[in-house]
Amino acid sequence: MALTYTLEAQEPAGAARAGRIVTAHGPVQTPAFMPVGTAGSVKTLTPDELLGTGADILLSNTYHLALRPGVETVRAMGGLHRFMGWQGTILTDSGGFQVMSMSPLRKITDEGVEFRSHLDGSRALLTPEEAIRIQDGLGTDIAMSLDELVESPSTAAEVSEAVDRTLLWAERGLAARQRLRDEGRGSMALFGINQGGTDPAERRRCFESLGAMPFDGFALGGLWVGEGKSLGLEMVAHDAAMFPVDRPRYLMGVGHPVDMVEAIDRGVDMFDCVLPTRNARRGTVFISTGRLVVKNAAYARDERPLDPDCDCYTCRRFSRAYLRHLFAAGELLGMRLASLHAIHHMIRLVRDARAAIVAGRYAAFRVSFLERFHSGETLVPALAG
């Protein structure tokens, strides 16, 4: 088995679940937050710092790595784990989302996605088979099937066509992995992605086929793309209810703390998002009581840490005043310290959620988390001296 999933606890009053995934690179506790290492680096942080936050799984982007340094270079350097010095689990995306969002050209046919590199303009075709071969070449633990995502709103015909193509590509991806396995490669796990936009019937139709395929886990695709949070959460509840209990469920691209707590409540196991670290590099971090814009001049003499409740390195060692100064002066250390807090904060959130599920008190955890997050406590700047 490329991956095992063990369900360890389920909230009696809801769908929240705690579990454990085991891959070739060790165990992953769920619910899990995956920091994003787009180009083989979670921006500004070392793999040892990530380990120190408690992270046990990272996401890396196939499209970026395939363009630079190239899959052959990563393979020659012993695979992505060795190349970037991360010995935990790695999940890679299929490359499809980046191709569709970053390429100056994209043409989608049943064959695949034709695109141009955003780096040098060279033309290439990403097929479902190629997506699998690249991810295998990178040495990922968990690969994602190439899917077609539609934006919101889309017409019913567009949604339906994307479902059909996603299913076609899912089968071809699995077949490509099987061929790799016949050659002694392709040992990675593979997740299928459910589509269907915000139409419950289409999502059901998609999963009726997808769920019958031998995927190691399933992702909720096409959500958080403009449909609004309450509709998004409805779709999460809808998909999670039909997904098998014995395989992990991954809500792609979602990482706002409130969204995560709500999606965990509806049965999701895995998350990834660049938002916490991207915000951090711009001087804004989530703390337990809200969103702190530490680069604001109002914090210039605030001696408190980013989050008085946090025990990350940044919060143990530095004041908001110092962080504010680093951002004002354009010092990279500011981005770095804020990013470290950001990852630590997200990992701690999923660990706290997990502990609450195991203890059978997730419903209460959710309420108190939301109350505290919206309290805004400590966000009002303190003036020293």
168 to 8, 109, 145, 162: CA distances (angstroms): 34, 11, 11, 10
Decide if 164 is catalytic.
no
DSSP string, 289-332: TEEEETTSGGGTT--S-S-TT--SHHHHH--HHHHHHHHHTT-H
The footprint of its own copies on residues 354-383 (CB under 8 A) is: none
Q: Is 301 in the site for its own copies (CB under 8 A)?
A: yes
Residue 156 binds its own copies, judged by CB under 8 A: no
Does residue 213 interact with its own copies by CB under 8 A?
Answer: no
Contacts with 174 (C-beta within 8 Å, 6 or more apart), sequence order: 145, 190, 213, 214, 215
Is there a catalytic annotation at residue 93?
Answer: yes
We find the least distance from the C-beta atom of residue 98 to its own copies, in angstroms, to be: 14
Among 63, 169, 318, 365, binds its own copies (CB under 8 A): 318
CA distances 264 to 228, 237, 239, 353, Å, are 18, 10, 13, 8
Exactly one of 36, 319, 365, 373 binds its own copies (CB under 8 A); that residue is 319
DSSP letter for 104, please. Answer: S
Find, among 141, 147, 101, the residue nearest to 127 by Cα: 147
In angstroms, give the least distance from the CB of 36 to its own copies: 13
Q: Residue 51, interface with its own copies (CB under 8 A)? A: no
Shortest distance, CB of residue 37 to its own copies, whole angstroms? 9
Q: Could you say which of 2, 9, 22, 39 contacts its own copies (CB under 8 A)?
A: 39
Question: According to DSSP H, which parts of the chain are helical?
Answer: 47-52, 62-67, 71-76, 80-84, 96-102, 128-138, 156-182, 200-210, 229-242, 257-265, 275-281, 313-317, 320-328, 332-358, 362-373
Rounded distance between C-alpha atoms, residue 173 and residue 129, angstroms:
5
Tokens representing residue 283 in the block: 């001087």
Closest distance to its own copies from the beta carbon of 54 (Å): 19
> What is the Cα 234 distance to its own chain's centre?
20
Is 44 one of the binding residues for its own copies (CB under 8 A)? Answer: yes
Candidates 93, 141, 216, 269; catalytic one? 93
Map residue 10 onto helix, strand or coil.
strand
Q: Are 178 and 108 in contact (CB under 8 A)?
A: no
Cβ nearer to its own copies, comparing 214 with 385:
385
Alpha-carbon gap, residue 264 to 172, rounded angstroms: 31
Q: Which of 56, 136, 265, 272 is catalytic?
A: 272
**Nearest-approach distance from CB 170 to its own copies, in angstroms:** 31
- Window 52-71: residues binding its own copies (CB under 8 A): 64, 68-69
Q: Applying CB under 8 A, which of residues 5, 33, 83, 169 lies at the interface with its own copies?
A: 83
Kindly state whether residue 81 participates in binding its own copies, applying the rule CB under 8 A: no
19, 31, 40, 88: residue in contact with its own copies (rule CB under 8 A): 40
242-261 positions binding its own copies, by CB under 8 A: none
Number of residues that bind its own copies (CB under 8 A): 40
| Site for its own copies contains 43 (CB under 8 A) | yes
Contact in structure between 95 and 77 (CB atoms under 8 Å): no
Q: In the complex, which residues of this chain contact its own copies (CB under 8 A)?
A: 39-41, 43-48, 64, 68-69, 73, 76-77, 83-85, 300-301, 303, 313, 317-319, 321-322, 324-326, 328-329, 331-333, 335-337, 384-385
Catalytic residues: 93, 272
